Structure 1
Amino acid sequence: MLEHADRLDLGDRFAAGRGYLAACTLGLPADVTRDAVRRDLERWSTGSASAADYSATLERARVHAAALLGTEAERIATGSQVSVFAGLAAASAPAGAEILCIDGDFSSVVAPFLARGDLRVRHVPLDALADAITPSTWLVSYSLVQSATGEVADLATITAAARTAGALTLVDTTQATGWMPADAVEADLVVCHAYKWLGAPRGAAFASFSDRAITEFTPHTAGWYSGTDPWASCYGPELHLADGARRFEVSPAWHAWVGAEAALGFAASLDLESVRRHDLGLANAFRERLGLEASDSAIVTWPDETGCDLAALTVAGLVASGRAGRARVAFHLWNDDEDVARAADAVNGSRRPLVLS
């Protein structure tokens, strides 16, 4: 368990938080995000909101997203969902191409490739992913942190194997960005939805594209926001495409991005290595109290086929989740040692044998 010096003191930035162990399901907005959404609602309702202001907000969010992923703003495309970006990769794959996925990974980085119907999609265990990459692999698609188990992929080894084989890589950092640094993720397509660990409204996602991805992927979702200047590409008959990642952009959900800009800016202002230490310290303290081995993930899961442990957490007033026959909790900025104790007591209490008098 980490020393108290490694704990963050950010609980007052969130209206809720005590007992909330579901950052991996639906995050909580920080005060700046909540206030931004409220101001936007007021401006919209009074008719003082403008498209130009929303576009400026999106550009600020793009800069924050680039900082979180360790790249330049011109390599960032904004969108609504991870599966849309993955779908662009799937639609651009040659017929018969091999796509390598993790067995049991989140559907958004798997389903678009299966839906094509003419691709060879292979699924392997997480720890076998790097070794399964061959020269016939066109793209490796995987989540950096697994949603169902919380396992963290060996990014460096997988990236090196893909480079050697000449394969493209797609990495989903939705369950990573926000609790751990993701600015060193090297992939042809890095995708992230901001509504979990980043605490943004749902409907705001972003992705970074490598030069190869920009060249080889077709912008099938091209629209008026896919040009260098969206306000100059509102009408045909010409095709207006930006030179960089913006060509993969879709028209933004303005209200969601008002909250997302504030949320991403807040996250980008934090020392994410300190956040990682804080979150892992709590997660591993909880694991220790349940008799589980320490891990490198802020998501803790364990077998709970009957749902008894999840039910015990709920009865204790804690917000948790269940996935794939496992109970799942996550520790983030608003959590502290008291949350660890309450959660551990709830689970351990549900396992004590009933003593009849």
Structure 2
Amino acid sequence: MSPLTAPLASATAPRSLAEVRAEFVDAHGYLAACTAGLPTLGTRSAIMGDLLGRPDPLHYAAVVEASRGHFARLVGVSVDRVAIGAQTSVFAALLAASLPDGAEVLCPDDEFSSLALPFVHAGRGITVRTAPLADLAAAVRPGTALVAFSLVQSACGSVADAEAIVSAARAVGARTFCDVTQAAGWMPVVADHFDAVVCHAYKWLCAPRGVAFLALGAELAATLRPIHAGWYAGEDPWASCYGVDATLASDARRFDVSPAWQAFVGAEPALRLFADADPAALHAYTTGLAHSFRERIGQEGPQESAIVSWPDLAGRDLARLTAAGIVASGRNGRARVAFHVFNDASDVDRAARALGC
């Protein structure tokens, strides 16, 4: 485990693996947390309760703030450093808009488009250069303004050498923007090691789609313009609904995007669950299942990822998995399975047998 993703000490005893697993039902054969996580029992209950009641904006605001606090704990930063929104691309666009004209951004080859495209289309002479993930640190050069990369690659599950990338970026004065959407929930994440961390919580954190977070370092935050500012970015959102004289929040909340209330209602119990869990235990459990599956299918080489992928250009292996009742996915010419806390050894066996292994 990289020092940049080492778990932080917790002030309270974390929830056990068994307690976390007990929050999920009907998970057998679902190997697609990298596409979308399964809802927890708490999420189901919260959403149903909201649907059966009446809209309550004050309650929604409290749920949003609780969710912000859970994510802050999850990535080890103070809550004033966290902005809320709905999607990765919106936060990437925020950073892109604040880069100087002509800036160079470095991304891995085949990076998830929501992270890369806002920089590609930022205009003002901003250019995006790419390099293989394994060579990303070596590709950082004087003049690189920002290195934007996913800690775990969506298409293949490869884990970035975050320590090497951050070190190389700092050596030339470049900032780092890390997407932990495919990591947070199974892999310990320490946001402080990067200048900015973005996460859409609907995958491994098992939240409804439409709940995203941006954790910012103070130096980078001071350079950003709140181009998406709306009423929720105000120091007092309820006093910022009209006119042009609103005072924006003095902390990261000035970058807030007005929240999708019902999505946060469902997200809060899931985020609390993962923030209360032991990240090292989640990492060991999920990567252990993935390792067992790799051994069954004969995939060699060291890999500490909960995502397993392999070439499948014609989609035949994905079709075999689907025919066996397994929910998997295909991305960028590869078959892809994910092992989360709600999976177990029977999922490994079922998927391996579907592939004839």
Q: List runs of 5+ in structure 2 lacking aligned partners.
A: 1-15
- Counterpart of 2:70 in structure 1: which amino acid? H
1:315 matches 2:326 = no
- Tell me, yes or no, if the aligned pair for 1:303 and 1:326 is still in contact at 8 Å: yes
* CA pair 55-301 structure 1, distance change in 2 beyond 3 A: same
- Identity rate, percent: 53
Instruction: Report the Cα offset of residue 9 of structure 1.
Output: 6.8
Instruction: Report the Cα offset of residue 348 of structure 1.
Output: 2.0
How far apart, CA to CA, are the structure 1 residues paired with 2:178 and 2:336? 22
1:34 matches 2:44 = yes
Instruction: Report the Cα offset of residue 185 of structure 1.
Output: 5.2
Map Cα deviations across residues 43-62 of structure 1 (whole Å, 9 max, x no partner).
Answer: 1xxxx331111101111111
State the SS of the aligned residue for 2:228: coil
State the SS of the aligned residue for 1:65: helix
Give the structure with higher Rg (CA): 1
Following TM superposition, where does structure 1 have runs of at least 4 consecutive aligned residues deviating by more than 4 angstroms? 6-11
* Residue in 2 that maps onto 1:14: 24
* Residue in 2 that maps onto 1:223: 230
1:155 matches 2:162 = yes
- Tell me, yes or no, if the aligned pair for 1:13 and 1:31 is still in contact at 8 Å: yes
RMSD (CA atoms): 1.4
- Counterpart of 2:98 in structure 1: which amino acid? S
* Residue in 2 that maps onto 1:337: 345
Map Cα deviations across residues 209-258 of structure 1 (whole Å, 9 max, x no partner).
Answer: 11122111111000111122211222223142111111110111000001
Provide TM-score, normalisation by structure 2: 0.92
1:49 matches 2:55 = yes
How far apart, CA to CA, are the structure 2 residues paired with 1:228 and 1:152? 38
* Residue in 1 that maps onto 2:91: 85
How far apart, CA to CA, are the structure 1 residues paired with 2:137 and 2:247? 38
* CA pair 219-209 structure 1, distance change in 2 beyond 3 A: same
- Tell me, yes or no, if the aligned pair for 1:144 and 1:152 is still in contact at 8 Å: yes
- Counterpart of 2:241 in structure 1: which amino acid? C
Residue of 267, 271, 274 corresponding to 1:267: 274
1:296 matches 2:304 = yes
- Tell me, yes or no, if the aligned pair for 1:155 and 1:185 is still in contact at 8 Å: no
How many residues are paired up? 340
- Tell me, yes or no, if the aligned pair for 2:33 and 2:204 is still in contact at 8 Å: yes
* CA pair 184-233 structure 1, distance change in 2 beyond 3 A: closer
Provide TM-score, normalisation by structure 1: 0.92
* CA pair 113-71 structure 1, distance change in 2 beyond 3 A: same
- Tell me, yes or no, if the aligned pair for 2:77 and 2:192 is still in contact at 8 Å: no
State the SS of the aligned residue for 1:41: helix
Instruction: Report the Cα offset of residue 13 of structure 1.
Output: 2.0
How do residues 92-241 of structure 1 correspond to structure 2 at under 5 angstroms?
92-117=98-123, 118-183=125-190, 186-241=193-248
How far apart, CA to CA, are the structure 1 residues paired with 2:105 and 2:200? 22
How far apart, CA to CA, are the structure 2 residues paired with 1:10 and 1:83? 30
* CA pair 7-65 structure 1, distance change in 2 beyond 3 A: closer
- Tell me, yes or no, if the aligned pair for 2:17 and 2:278 is still in contact at 8 Å: no
How far apart, CA to CA, are the structure 2 residues paired with 1:237 and 1:309? 56
Map Cα deviations across residues 13-66 of structure 1 (whole Å, 9 max, x no partner).
Answer: 2122000000000110111111111111111xxxx3311111011111111010
Instruction: Report the Cα offset of residue 8 of structure 1.
Output: 5.0
How far apart, CA to CA, are the structure 1 residues paired with 2:226 and 2:17? 44
Q: List runs of 5+ in structure 1 lacking aligned partners.
A: 1-5, 350-357
* Residue in 2 that maps onto 1:70: 76
How far apart, CA to CA, are the structure 1 residues paired with 2:33 and 2:114? 18
